[in-house]
Structure 1
């Protein structure tokens, strides 16, 4: 409490200046710090851990970006449908929406579709426009949306007092699984309403924000004396089954088949007789009250909203508890890899036709293959705008932990729509990203603002949201097939016990290592490609595998995966699976491959050299960073590279391999080491007796293992 009083500027609590919802949000986020740290150590998160581990307060400018470019954009559409002659820029400026990004110029066909869709908006009233935040947290989005709605009502001639009542009753909705977050949102909206209507707290109005209930003590048998139809029984059963795990599902909860809420509500409205009061009847009334709460929330979960805005919770599928994991896999197959992706699907379901939805999420969905189906489903809608934030979008998260993107989509299929994209990843702080975005709004010729037709994304393998790609590169993907036609990707060996089966080559008798064994043989030790540091063309040859032992049943465990033995020792291209920098590709002969070194078998020397030339080029580095901007590089992404084969470069590739081999062999950790390069130019008569006796004869190999030489007996 002392820190709360002394460390926070008193002005931050001044409601006349705004920002009070921010102080509430930050305080609550840090309130969850300790339980979050405890939960992060767990293999899987329990239901009670979910609020703490998924709580991340959204920066104020990103909230304004999302609300202005969704709710604000929808209202501009309404005004244009009413024949308002002002441009969208002029309207946004009139409302002081400084984060509003105007749309780019569209072709005639797209423009006609937009105009046609806007005709339906001529009769829209402000009371008809609804905004939902499906994971509202402490209410930051809802409070700013309140401010925007207030502007709209005032522009339509409403007083602040009347506008406040309408906003609370008709316009704003929110859900959360965290009771404390719900209480903060309820408080923040109530205080916001009280600011503009001093009688608000006496009006009997409540904000439409809800803590998703969870009741494990209800069953359909509790209401069997009141149920009169099979449909009532079926609907109540479905509701109770869903809300049995309400704190796990949250607003992901939805019902694929319609529920007759009127029929169920008739059960709740049944009153006990005057002379029928008893402990049983009192208990039944309590259960009816719980069922009423479930019905109220369910009806709102089943309705459509004009606009959806949210910062969804992040949680990888591996951390989900069994209940949540099964539900997500069953109902959100495209977004099952992460909770934020499941909410991308869910928010889309919330929004009505021609409405907008805006989110800030991790940017992984834009590129990774695990989200490809999600990207395909989102192409049914139109990506209007994206502020690609990258790292450090959240002030309190340093380093490269979370890479984010904020975006706005319209629930309308405009295939040829040219979206606007602000590439802010090179600005290394939250404040710099905000300043850069505002600069792009004012001057749309900045070099980090891109405009592209979203149809181009489908022309690139995997359909990544690669908005910055040039037309020439898109054309290359269309013209050339992937290199998968020239190579055969193979899975690497999993030993199940690396310390038992994998050794440095200096740890064993090198005479027992077969460097070029015949196919279908299993020598005692064979060379193993195991990734390693950045090194092109040749090298990182330091490990061997106890292959014979890998095929001895008594030596291996059930977790072993030997891969395709027919691909052992073939000529191949490999690289390090994990790299924080640029990938580096190398040629291998006579090796087997581990999981840290993906393998592309290519026995045609001419093609292999041509592919190595492509893969080790700056062009390939750019393309691979485009289709897979992560530190992991599986073979599936490499085979998507367009096969722009140029055999004329093979002589340079061969020379590069030769130079890299010579460089690798110049040092003692190579099994082909002969002599240190500093000694290679010394005349023989000046070499020491020790050099002749120990190194060249290998007599001291037991004492100096780093000088073992291949082929020396």
Structure 2
């Protein structure tokens, strides 16, 4: 695909559509400042007071609906956000429809077989639908008044008439497609139509931009892929995402979650996850058949699964257990294998899963046409909070069905994919009506209704919480009871319509469909979950309350939640940041997985391989069993070059397991390393050292120091202040109190440097840090944290919090206060400090720290875990060499640091 053209189109199209929707709103008297008043000229004519624009007939009602919708949103989010989100929603509605129609016309899927955006004749600008309009079924469906209007516009021929005709035709095409694709092409008869503006004669318009994308990128017969829809959505979100993160370190609002979290998963990773979850589950079932003579790899190869990893060899006793289990397995039906993506985005995972299922059904003797319908109705399940992504996922899956079954769009198939909607303020009239029509006795009705209301309350902010809504207290019997409770209407009366009861009824049934998906068990779950730790207040509180052990980030919630949704021996595949493998805040998640699941395979990628994610990532699969502890692992952290290089290395490793970055590891070993990091490349000997060695914090006391809350205010470089105001030789807090000095040497960590150095800063600790201790923010809250003050000014070994390269540790003389990022370790024994300084500055020390935490942060917790085989009597030579290194590096550092000033001025000389 020409991703540059796709990116340019998506970004450009969004800006054009938003500008035109905004302009249309302004004509309607709706701006970011508010809603203008209108003057009623007569019963069918109004005028906008601010600009004099007039509207007649149905347009008056459409404007009224627009105002009503804005006011409804305003009550939830405030007017400005309501205005912005409405513009975004209308813009992406038309964007989605444009790219869907483009895909359908290129593949000849449109009902009239006439191109709506382009022409099959090269160089012809007028779409075939317009050229041949009078001969189409579309024209025949127009009423007489509309036909007259069409003829009038054709005869006029002016640019304005051409655009008006085209908009009329385009809207009717969209409305007609509602019959085949109702969840994307909702019928338009409201304010959305008022805000629509499109032109095929505008060389700078959206259509002209869309047609710059090579046609073959859409054409499935020419090698094009429905994947293009997902990339368009990804790039459409480029500017909204940049805008969210440009606002700095703050919580993400509910309306910003989609832009902040939607990432289009690279194709090869989707294939890896699906093949090693759904594909592996299928192969497990096949191998249980005593008549199956092929090996696991031979079966995978027969389907062309390039990214399938044959199972790791298990211990002998485990292999015997697996064979026993397989003997007890009965035949399986493909229709019973369910795959879920509960953060489906634009549907990339489900689309590839469709391709895999097609092959499985053909293997079992089904025709493609029969298989396509079964897959759509039985095998694929998806959930999403973002309406635009849901629409595109729905469309992409339906297009896969259309690829294999020509008539499938006319079968009114209801997919098992859904978008969360907020459900609140259910009217009393609705509950009164179902009570009137219910056949339940009063006691049973009241009990069922009360339980139902508890469930409904959980969906009040469903578009913010999405799949993390906790429905573990609901079972399938409850759902059926609730359906029976509300599905009591033989038909809806005019009074029902007045109170919007049909709409409420539909929403509640949709909610129950979603709950049914959320409580089911699955043979395969595959997702690239949202990465979000700066959650909104509502979402953050909910996650803390319901998922306390994995609350650090949304992706960790999904890992735990989805692991619990697997059938026995089912598989889950994830693409997530790799921090869960190492850092302390995910230790409970690691412990849960290691004790309760089997890590089947894992690919740890190079730090910046996935540029779109802006965080280092991994992808992995787990099996819902405790039986298979040995897994397949790839360590790709040394291979730069982006996703293409990572993919090449994985493919090479699958073909040649002897490569030095492929490992097969028993996850029981992870328990032997403090913190249980997923350090799969560690040797048995080093694991033994962790078991028998002393932790570093048994020898010295690692501590975190002062956090000033405002470094710009309280810190200076040593040369920025009067040397006479600096206290260089304090040895304790009491010594500093007596000094009468304002500035004291400050250990802030700093750049990579071993043995000695980074004496760059001084801190305002006048009167025992009085100003820092009393520093408050705008809300009057004290933000500074003078931690571990008893250790201030003491001799220490120290290291920097941020270590983007190798680890480095330094000796720090008496006289400094240490920072929260200038971590330090203390001991009364100089011998202990020198021994550890020598040990931790070696390549071995650096290697072990990469095991404990290969991220850029080296907190005191990780250094505390370092294993030492401590024997001072045999290590006097190490200590002597350390002392020499400190002395040499002190001189080197002083010389470098003072190169631009006189050497004698440095306070340490």
Task: Name the TM-score, length of structure 1 as normaliser.
Answer: 0.89
Moved more, 377-386 or 219-228: 219-228
Aligned to 1:593: 818
Equivalent-residue separation in structure 1 for 2:216 and 2:226 (angstroms): 13
Equivalent-residue separation in structure 2 for 1:166 and 1:53 (angstroms): 35
Residue 461 of structure 1, CA deviation = 1.1
Aligned to 1:59: 266
Aligned to 1:662: 891
CA 62–17 in structure 1, closer or farther in 2 if over 3 Å, else same: farther
**Aligned 8 A contact 2:694 2:870 in 1:** no
> SS of 2:620's equivalent?
strand
Structure 1 position 613 matched with structure 2 position 821: no
CA 270–88 in structure 1, closer or farther in 2 if over 3 Å, else same: same
The one-character-per-residue Cα deviations of 1:362-415 (angstroms, maximum 9, x if unpaired) are 111111111111111111100111122224544x539xx32111111100012x
Aligned to 2:788: 564
Residue 206 of structure 1, CA deviation = 2.0
Equivalent-residue separation in structure 2 for 1:640 and 1:191 (angstroms): 53
Residue 24 of structure 1, CA deviation = 0.7
Q: Which has the higher contact order (CA 8 A, sep 6+)?
A: 1
Aligned to 1:632: 857
1:233-252 correspondence to structure 2 within 5 Å: 233-252=449-468
Structure 1 position 540 matched with structure 2 position 758: yes
Moved more, 364-373 or 8-17: 8-17
**Aligned 8 A contact 1:55 1:137 in 2:** yes
Moved more, 578-587 or 350-359: 578-587
Given candidates 393, 397, 403, the residue that maps to 2:612 is: 397
Structure 1 position 9 matched with structure 2 position 214: yes
> SS of 2:355's equivalent?
helix
CA 642–235 in structure 1, closer or farther in 2 if over 3 Å, else same: same
Residue 477 of structure 1, CA deviation = 0.5
CA 85–554 in structure 1, closer or farther in 2 if over 3 Å, else same: closer
The one-character-per-residue Cα deviations of 1:458-478 (angstroms, maximum 9, x if unpaired) are 111111111111111111101
Equivalent-residue separation in structure 1 for 2:772 and 2:283 (angstroms): 72
> SS of 2:694's equivalent?
coil
**Aligned 8 A contact 1:664 1:670 in 2:** no
Structure 1 position 419 matched with structure 2 position 642: no
Moved more, 77-86 or 644-653: 644-653
Aligned to 2:602: 386
CA 502–98 in structure 1, closer or farther in 2 if over 3 Å, else same: closer
Equivalent-residue separation in structure 2 for 1:23 and 1:200 (angstroms): 22
Residue 118 of structure 1, CA deviation = 3.3
Equivalent-residue separation in structure 2 for 1:157 and 1:669 (angstroms): 80
Moved more, 473-482 or 109-118: 109-118
Aligned to 1:186: 394
**Aligned 8 A contact 2:728 2:745 in 1:** yes
For the aligned residue pairs, the C-alpha RMSD in angstroms reads: 2.4
Residue 6 of structure 1, CA deviation = 5.3
Aligned to 1:582: 806
Aligned to 1:622: 847
Aligned to 2:406: 198
1:659-698 correspondence to structure 2 within 5 Å: 659-666=888-895, 669=898
Equivalent-residue separation in structure 1 for 2:796 and 2:625 (angstroms): 47
Structure 1 position 371 matched with structure 2 position 586: yes
Residue 512 of structure 1, CA deviation = 4.3
Equivalent-residue separation in structure 2 for 1:186 and 1:668 (angstroms): 62
Aligned to 1:288: 505
> SS of 2:506's equivalent?
helix
Residue 115 of structure 1, CA deviation = 2.7
> SS of 2:870's equivalent?
coil
Equivalent-residue separation in structure 2 for 1:238 and 1:636 (angstroms): 43
Aligned to 1:298: 515
**Aligned 8 A contact 1:21 1:139 in 2:** no
Unaligned runs of 5+ residues in structure 1 are 677-694, 696-705
**Aligned 8 A contact 1:313 1:339 in 2:** yes
Equivalent-residue separation in structure 1 for 2:906 and 2:823 (angstroms): 30
CA 290–2 in structure 1, closer or farther in 2 if over 3 Å, else same: closer
Residue 598 of structure 1, CA deviation = 0.8
Residue 494 of structure 1, CA deviation = 2.0
CA 591–287 in structure 1, closer or farther in 2 if over 3 Å, else same: same
The one-character-per-residue Cα deviations of 1:163-182 (angstroms, maximum 9, x if unpaired) are 11211111111111111111
Aligned to 1:703: none
Aligned to 1:81: 288
> SS of 2:518's equivalent?
helix
Given candidates 259, 263, 278, the residue that maps to 1:71 is: 278
- Higher-helix-fraction structure: 2
Structure 1 position 467 matched with structure 2 position 467: no
Moved more, 576-585 or 620-629: 576-585
Equivalent-residue separation in structure 1 for 2:390 and 2:231 (angstroms): 15
CA 512–193 in structure 1, closer or farther in 2 if over 3 Å, else same: closer
1:194-593 correspondence to structure 2 within 5 Å: 194-218=402-426, 222-224=430-432, 226=434, 228=442, 229-259=445-475, 260-271=478-489, 277-279=494-496, 283-315=500-532, 317-318=533-534, 320-379=535-594, 380-394=596-610, 397=612, 401-414=614-627, 417-427=629-639, 428-521=641-734, 522=737, 523=739, 524=741, 525-552=743-770, 556-557=774-775, 558-588=782-812, 589-593=814-818
> SS of 2:414's equivalent?
coil
> SS of 1:552's equivalent?
helix
CA 404–587 in structure 1, closer or farther in 2 if over 3 Å, else same: same
CA 640–90 in structure 1, closer or farther in 2 if over 3 Å, else same: same
The one-character-per-residue Cα deviations of 1:317-366 (angstroms, maximum 9, x if unpaired) are 22x11111111112222332112111112221222111000111111111
Aligned to 1:681: none
Aligned to 1:692: none
Structure 1 position 652 matched with structure 2 position 859: no
**Aligned 8 A contact 2:705 2:789 in 1:** no
**Aligned 8 A contact 1:422 1:448 in 2:** yes
**Aligned 8 A contact 1:501 1:550 in 2:** no
The one-character-per-residue Cα deviations of 1:438-487 (angstroms, maximum 9, x if unpaired) are 11111111111111111111111111111111111111101102111011
Residue 708 of structure 1, CA deviation = 6.3
Equivalent-residue separation in structure 2 for 1:75 and 1:563 (angstroms): 56
**Aligned 8 A contact 2:216 2:224 in 1:** no
Equivalent-residue separation in structure 2 for 1:50 and 1:483 (angstroms): 42
Equivalent-residue separation in structure 1 for 2:644 and 2:519 (angstroms): 38
Residue 284 of structure 1, CA deviation = 2.8
Equivalent-residue separation in structure 2 for 1:460 and 1:126 (angstroms): 42
Aligned to 2:8: none
> SS of 2:524's equivalent?
strand
> SS of 1:563's equivalent?
coil
Aligned to 1:125: 333
Equivalent-residue separation in structure 2 for 1:352 and 1:312 (angstroms): 20
Aligned to 1:36: 241
CA 421–121 in structure 1, closer or farther in 2 if over 3 Å, else same: same
Task: Name the TM-score, length of structure 2 as normaliser.
Answer: 0.71
Equivalent-residue separation in structure 1 for 2:746 and 2:645 (angstroms): 46
Moved more, 83-92 or 420-429: 420-429
Aligned to 1:682: none
What is the count of residue pairs matched by the alignment? 673
Aligned to 1:687: none
CA 515–382 in structure 1, closer or farther in 2 if over 3 Å, else same: same
Equivalent-residue separation in structure 1 for 2:468 and 2:235 (angstroms): 26
CA 325–527 in structure 1, closer or farther in 2 if over 3 Å, else same: same
Residue 203 of structure 1, CA deviation = 2.0
